[in-house]
Structure 1
Amino acid sequence: MQLHFLITSEQRASGAMFMESLNDTVLAFIYPTDGARTFHTFFCPPMRIVALSAEGQVVFDEVIVRWKWVRLPVCRYVIETGPKVDHAPFVQTILSIAGDLPQLGAMDPSLRMDGLLFAVLAEAVADIRRIRDAHRGEVRPEIQRRRFEVWERGQIVSSAGFILDFSDSCHLPDGAVKLSYSVLKAEEPYIDEIVAASVGGIPWRHEFPSHCIRCGKPASWRPILNPASNAAVEILWRYQRPENAIPICHHCTATLNLLRDESLQIDLVWGLWGPRFEALWQWHRAMKSKRLPKDWDLYTQPLWPQEYGGMEWETGSGALKFAEPRPPHQVVRSEQHMQALRRGLFSKKFRGRQPGETPLQKLLDFRLDIPKGDSR
């Protein structure tokens, strides 16, 4: 069991976000003064939150398993750990060491979170208004599936849960609260997949480079693997992920006879995306054969099961913190991957349209600035 002291604003802002679990970790949030505080558990694993006074008295102790805002009473220290971890043995250590720790960038606890809270609530209510406008009555699953993209449905479900969390403490429209209940009931059979899609299935094509991987001319991203004809709409977003696509123009598509050569398609997407395509491929095969792991946790591994990829984005991880679509910059490629790319790119001679200025290198060097969310 490891005890970590979080003493800077940046450390406290990150907290347990994107961690797989807290079963072997105790996070101690150290503040210089007493104050009522607002925490959140978005993108965090299930946890126990314990708030302590300066003398070590427990003033709050609750297990939080869903993403939500948590209002803490006046306290000096906060502990986050696994739901079944006994925090008591660490309290004396925290009290004895906390006074000697430096305080860097501490926020005045008198600053109110109301503005942020009400802004988020306003966005959540706006999402529910979209449901009202779409259904004009009872929330029906068939309308949800027809009117909204899967990632939108995931965000709407999250908004509904957020509204219900605060329906007792904030004055919210009765209609929004009732519709939130109806949304969660209608989406219950699909909730794991659509919440995963709300992070991993967001649109990306307009942000990615759009030049041909072969000649460098304007191109579009073409998907490679196809879902089964009877696949549920809730899983189709994975086939629309960038790891299942290559940027190639119509001219090079025709020159390579790409649409009729499945092995060439696989060479190109495998060479471009390396271990990330390999992980998607394993999910694709397991999905078709109905052999997905029964213990797959879509909340911590929304893209694919943990055993299908590595531990980092570059090696194929499907973890929550790596779920946002990114271009193939810094993907780890072996010599086999590079050979597959060469087979695909140069299997036919260039005729009429010559290679652009290192189009592949431009694509592989392209990167997006992945924003880090603000929190506590």
Structure 2
Amino acid sequence: MSRRAARAGSVAEMRELARRRLPRPVFDLVEGGAEDEVTLQRNSAAFLRARLQPRAFVDVAERDTATTVLGTPLRSPLLLAPTGAARVLHRDAELAVARAAAARGVGYVHGTVSGHPVEQVARVTGSWWYQLFLSADRGRVTAELDRVAALGCRVLVVTVDVPTFGNRERDRRHGLTLPVRLSPGLALHCATRPRWTAELLRGNLPQRGRPDGRVSPFATQGQILRSLYPVTEGDLAWLRGAWPHRLVVKGVMDPEDGALAVRHGADGVVVSNHGGRQLDRAPATLEALPGVVEAVAGRAEVLLDGGVRRGADVLTALGLGARAVLVGRPYLYGLAVAGQAGVERVIDVLTTELDRTMALTGVASVRDVGARTVTLGPPVAGSAGAS
């Protein structure tokens, strides 16, 4: 890891290093959202509304960030979310991410869209979750469930907010369509980042049939795109019957959907708007969190995904009822800059910030964060920041 990456003291600093390293179309692939990117901006801006209450006369000499999420013990209430196409950032892709999660004791959710087979990832990490896109082919889904269960997966995360692909205009402007073709403009951008391009050409996007089993994430993403499926209540009921272990529903923004998921046996729900990459002008996930928590009413664990950039954001989500948070773009910045070491640095930064914020708010354990610690105020003028 470079000295700059090792010294990165915030997600924002790691993001800037990633921006300098990556060709503009690739950075925008990570950074961009749908259409006018209003939802993307709202996700992070919502955290600026949080009011953290300082406390004195509390013994916080020793603090504990550890927790357990759906039976998975974590050293910090963080999970690395499935993101897709990580291979364009670093050749080790999900292997680096999974190893970093295991090294730092946080959660890892392996995505269906991946440059590495799940069998490889299962060998390099401890407890891991698997993210699934449902399809109309029940036979294929059943085979996939059997496959990951046999590898030791005990938490399945089904994504329910992608009945069709969002309109990601940055990717369209750069010509990053599926399947990906190297246009003159994209080639010119690649030429401005020779180190990244050299790594790409050394095998960053190997094709199917390679001896190491690696596949192009764009090929996998193309398959998903061709089989996008609007998940119904009946599908969720079928999946609950087909999967014998813990089930998490990801993509819940409406309290009624949270209650429905619980009625059909979900053990957890993830309040998520897909990082602002699907429906533009949707609420921020932090804004939606309290309503979903109330509707679930303790019958399942609630997690938040979207907009987390600081340890204070993690504490804010916990204070509003989340059990833990998922992060995507933050660890992708670290992956782009320094592979596994970069991901570990981002985890360390967020955990250190969380620990410091706990001390300043008089919280000795993440289990003690509550409504007295965090309140959500009115929108802050001019607070539309990048997600």
Task: Compute the TM-score of the two structures, normalised by the length of structure 2.
Answer: 0.25
Higher RCO, Cα 8 Å, sep 6+: 2
Task: Compute the TM-score of the two structures, normalised by the length of structure 1.
Answer: 0.25
Q: Give the structure with higher Rg (CA).
A: 1
